[in-house]
Amino acid sequence: MSTFYVTTPIYYVNARPHLGHAYTTIVADTLKRFHKLIGSDARMLTGTDEHGDKIVKAAAKENKSPKEFVDAISAEFNALWKDLKIDYDQFIRTTDEDHKKSVQALLQRIYDKGDIYYGEYGGHYCFGCERFYTEKELEDGLCPQHKTKPEYISEKNYFFKMSKYQDWLKQYILDNPDFIRPERYKNEVLAMLEGNVLEDLCISRPKSRLEWGIELPFDKDYVCYVWFDALANYISALGWGNSDDLSKFDKYWPAEHLVAKDILKPHGIFWPTMLKAADLPVYKHLNVHGYWLVKDTKMSKSLGNVVDPRFASEHFGLDAFRYFLLRDMHFGSDASYSEEGLISRINSDLSNDLGNLFSRVLSMNAKYFAKEVPALGELSEEDEQIFASVDTAAQNYIQLFKEVRFSYALDGLWEPIRLMNKYVDSQAPWTLYKEGKTERLATVIRVLLENMYKIAVLLYPVMPESSQKMQAQLGKEFSLHEKLIDDLMSCKVHLRTGAVISDSSNRFPQFEKTAENREEKKDDKKDGKKNQKKDNAPKTEENAGSGLIEFADFQKLDLRVGTILNAEQHPDADKLLRFDVDLGEEKPRQIISGIAEFFKPSELIGHKVVVVANLPPRKLRGLVSHGMILTAEKDDHLSLLTSSAPNGSKIS
């Protein structure tokens, strides 16, 4: 049996858990469940990072000792993961004695190899980042993360010869192109290695300045730098350096790491060079995700826009919350969180598509076959299309999950779900029943039930509770085993003819808009009436007749060149497509366009287009569009307006 070991970063306990922490942990949980589904022995690690300057300062603010402070916050993380039903195998803390032993063993091994030396160093120290910055790394003299001026500190410390491994790391990344993924983060790390001469890493803090840390095994006057300490958790959790029994380490290492983009450098540069210096295998992949934004702004306690994942999961349902997070963030890119967006996703995908399919098919089966699974007769071309559609989507889903492309995997899985709803309408079981075509009716219902079962099984990693309940509704007891996916994909029939199944399903009820959202809608209607009155007002001589505009009017348009990175069908509108367009900005823009009847989404990816970039955001069937893609139309033929200019170029 193959093994799979997934880790979250260990979360720093200077603040309480929020949506960003929950997302990473839910992704790790989903990956563990997925690999168990496909027959692997899967293991998950999470935990808390509890040493360093920031902890001492945060504890002092609350009049607590560092130990009292970290115990309380670590317990909050652990409690949240239990509430979110995270299936972790170990919750590690850097204050654990076993972890301390591992860190000291790692330090001693690298020291004995000659890759740690003692020296004097003066540098710009950011207490928020707990690290030294070079002049090159500062932005206008400020820390690039915290936008504060670091304090210049000169002191004697121990240094890891990280620069020794620069050429090795660069070549390793080039030889293993999916080592860091998505690709943009691999390129970012390569740029760090190519753009600068990699400096040695200061890995100690004198006890005269900081005592809250792990003591260096070769000098009792120093404690370990918090990042060197924290990164070692991934192997200390498997017993490396703290146990004579290395069977767990040998079985599960190397790991799959999950991190947010703000800790790319420690994981993409510090950690692999540390492992290389210690003569240990490097990890399999570093999987890097973006930020969850609220109204296009990074969550911040000071801004008061931090999302409580416990409230969202309790109010909307844990499985629906998990689905939204996996579906709405394209892994690697930033994504916007809003209650309205969550409600829209639940209502469109889960209620209207999946929930509706289960509800109507189970109800019809109860009505026409007294809740018993009917026999499968001769298959028509339409029936075979349903089986083929589900099988193709399943194969793509499995491959995309392995590549941590969750949103694309789920989007593809929803194609046969929507197709089955259309199949119900086209086959019209109610008409077959009235006409007495019982055998054909039985086959139609059985085709639906069998493929609903496949969908239910495949959704287990994302929505574990709902998956098991949907399988139970179809008369199947959920059981993970090594051959489950092979069995699922190898034959058409999985349900037992004559088995009694549920007569109804209400797994995903519709959600009403919140009172706040309803109020916004009323205001929109009022504004619409006002605008309508303005539009219907008599035209004056100034704006009537000529059709000409002033040059100043044209100057108001901000026309930009961009590349379509992703194109897909709008989840709730047949005529609309959703695009991610790179306009040379920090992140791609989401643009909704009503051109679905003219183009297939897959045909548009990679095309350069012209976008009206300064239109106010507009919501179209639940999704916000930040611009308009320009097209040209003649004789009922629509073409994209294109340009070969670089992304972000302004047309004037």
Q: What is the DSSP code string of 287-308?
A: EEE--EEETTEE--TTTT----
Total structural domains within the chain: 2
Same domain? 466 vs 567: no
Distance in angstroms (rounded) separating the CA atoms of residues 198 and 265:
12
Q: Does 547 score more than 80 pLDDT?
A: no
Q: What are phi and psi of 43, to 5 degrees?
A: -135, 140
Task: With respect to residue 15, please indicate whether it lies within any of the assigned structural domains.
Answer: no
Distance in angstroms (rounded) separating the CA atoms of residues 230 and 11:
9
Taken in order 359, 488, 287, 648, the sign of the CA dihedral is negative
Task: With respect to residue 400, please indicate whether it lies within any of the assigned structural domains.
Answer: yes
Distance in angstroms (rounded) separating the CA atoms of residues 161 and 117:
8
Q: Does 424 score more than 80 pLDDT?
A: yes
Same domain? 479 vs 343: yes
Q: Does 515 score more than 50 pLDDT?
A: no
Q: What's the DSSP call for residue 587?
A: S
Q: Does 602 score more than 80 pLDDT?
A: no
The torsion defined by the Cα of 468, 474, 479 and 481, in degrees rounded to 10, comes to: -120
Q: Which amino acid is at 539?
A: K
- Report the DSSP pairing between strands 219-224 and 215-216: antiparallel
Annotation says 126 is catalytic: yes
Annotation says 143 is catalytic: yes
- Domain of residue 429 covers 338-490
Given a contact cutoff of 8 angstroms between Cβ atoms, the answer to whether 354 and 508 are in contact is yes
Annotation says 330 is catalytic: no
Task: With respect to residue 363, please indicate whether it lies within any of the assigned structural domains.
Answer: yes
Q: Does 51 score more than 50 pLDDT?
A: yes
Same domain? 469 vs 559: no
Write the CATH number for 440.
1.10.730.10
Which of the residues 54, 100, 124, 143 is marked catalytic?
143
pTM beyond cutoff 0.75: yes
- Report the DSSP pairing between strands 285-289 and 219-224: unpaired
Q: Other C-beta atoms within 10 Å of 215: how many?
A: 18
pLDDT of amino acid 540: 39
Same domain? 485 vs 347: yes
Share above pLDDT 70 across residues of the chain, in percent, rounded to a whole number: 92
Which of the residues 147, 298, 422, 434 is marked catalytic?
298
pLDDT of amino acid 302: 65
**Residues 550-573: tens digit of each pLDDT:** 766 777 888 999 889 888 888 878
Same domain? 347 vs 478: yes
Last residue of a domain, one of 437, 455, 490: 490
Which residues are within 8 A (CB) of 71 and not within 5 positions of it... i.e. 6 or more apart? none
Q: What are phi and psi of 419, to 5 degrees?
A: -65, -40
Q: Based on C-alpha coordinates, what's the Rg of the chain?
A: 28
Residue 525: pLDDT band by 50, 70, 90 thresholds?
very low
Q: Does 228 score more than 90 pLDDT?
A: yes
Same domain? 477 vs 557: no
Task: With respect to residue 632, please indicate whether it lies within any of the assigned structural domains.
Answer: yes
Which residues are within 8 A (CB) of 334 and not within 5 positions of it... i.e. 6 or more apart? 290, 291, 292, 293, 587
Maximum alpha-carbon separation in the chain: 91
Q: What is the mean pLDDT of residues 112-128?
A: 87
Secondary structure (3-state) at 360: helix
- Report the DSSP pairing between strands 559-569 and 608-612: antiparallel
Considering only 59-73, 373-387, 498-512, which range has the smallest mean pLDDT?
498-512
Q: What is the mean pLDDT of residues 419-432?
A: 96
Residue 545: pLDDT band by 50, 70, 90 thresholds?
very low
Considering only 51-65, 199-213, 324-338, 584-598, which range has the smallest mean pLDDT?
584-598
Q: Does 546 score more than 80 pLDDT?
A: no
Residue 535: pLDDT band by 50, 70, 90 thresholds?
very low
Question: Which has more confidence, 513 or 109?
Answer: 109
Write the CATH number for 630.
2.40.50.140
Alpha helices in 143-199 (DSSP H): 166-175, 183-195
Show the 3-state SS of 88-110.
CCEEEECCCHHHHHHHHHHHHHH
**Residues 243-276: tens digit of each pLDDT:** 999 999 999 999 999 999 999 999 999 999 999 9
Annotation says 18 is catalytic: yes
Secondary structure (3-state) at 19: helix
Task: With respect to residue 217, please indicate whether it lies within any of the assigned structural domains.
Answer: no
Q: Please state, rounded to an integer, the average pLDDT across all residues of the chain.
A: 90
The torsion defined by the Cα of 50, 53, 59 and 62, in degrees rounded to 10, comes to: -140
Q: How would you classify residue 115: left for phi > 0, otherwise alpha for psi between -120 and 50, otherwise beta? A: alpha
Residue 16 vs residues 47, 60, 337: alpha-carbon distances, Å: 13, 16, 19
Quick one: which of 588, 568, 586 has its CA closest to 578? 568
* Paired tokens of 539: 């035209």
* Paired tokens of 627: 């611009």
pLDDT of amino acid 551: 67
Task: With respect to residue 248, please indicate whether it lies within any of the assigned structural domains.
Answer: no
Same domain? 461 vs 580: no
Show the 3-state SS of 482-544.
CCHHHHHHHCCCCCCCCCECCCCCCCCCCCCCCHHHHHHHHHHHHHHHHHHHHHCCCCCCCCC
Q: How far apart are the first and last CA of the chain?
A: 61
Same domain? 343 vs 481: yes
Residue 522: pLDDT band by 50, 70, 90 thresholds?
very low
Residue 193, judged by CB atoms within 10 A of its CB (0-12, 13-18, 19+), counts as middle
Given a contact cutoff of 8 angstroms between Cβ atoms, the answer to whether 628 and 591 are in contact is yes
pLDDT of amino acid 543: 42
Same domain? 406 vs 486: yes
**Residues 458-497: tens digit of each pLDDT:** 999 999 999 999 999 999 999 888 889 999 999 899 999 9
Interhelix angle for 438-458 vs 464-473, to 10°? 160
Q: What is the mean pLDDT of residues 413-438?
A: 96
Q: Does 141 score more than 90 pLDDT?
A: no
Residue 24: pLDDT band by 50, 70, 90 thresholds?
very high
Quick one: which of 38, 6, 3, 4 has its CA closest to 25? 6
Q: Does 578 score more than 50 pLDDT?
A: yes
Same domain? 348 vs 481: yes
Distance in angstroms (rounded) separating the CA atoms of residues 400 and 406:
7
Q: Which amino acid is at 53?
A: D
CA-angle at 411, arms to 408 and 413, nearest 5°: 110
Distance in angstroms (rounded) separating the CA atoms of residues 255 and 280:
12
Task: With respect to residue 634, please indicate whether it lies within any of the assigned structural domains.
Answer: yes
Q: Which amino acid is at 339?
A: E
Task: Give kind and range of the element (H or E) at residue 181.
Answer: strand 180-181
pLDDT of amino acid 514: 54
The torsion defined by the Cα of 641, 645, 648 and 652, in degrees rounded to 10, comes to: -70
Q: What's the DSSP call for residue 156?
A: E
Which of the residues 54, 129, 186, 285 is marked catalytic?
129
Q: Does 440 score more than 50 pLDDT?
A: yes
Annotation says 298 is catalytic: yes
pLDDT of amino acid 566: 83
Same domain? 485 vs 348: yes
Annotation says 301 is catalytic: yes
Residues recorded for the chain: 652
Which of the residues 147, 156, 251, 301 is marked catalytic?
301
Given a contact cutoff of 8 angstroms between Cβ atoms, the answer to whether 409 and 396 are in contact is yes
3-state helix, strand, coil in the chain (%, to 5): 45, 20, 35
Specify which of 13-17, 207-211, 440-444, 538-542 reaches the highest per-range mean pLDDT.
440-444
Same domain? 470 vs 575: no
Task: With respect to residue 477, please indicate whether it lies within any of the assigned structural domains.
Answer: yes
Which of the residues 146, 402, 481, 600 is marked catalytic?
146
Which of the residues 36, 100, 124, 126 is marked catalytic?
126
Considering only 74-83, 245-254, 292-301, 514-523, which range has the smallest mean pLDDT?
514-523
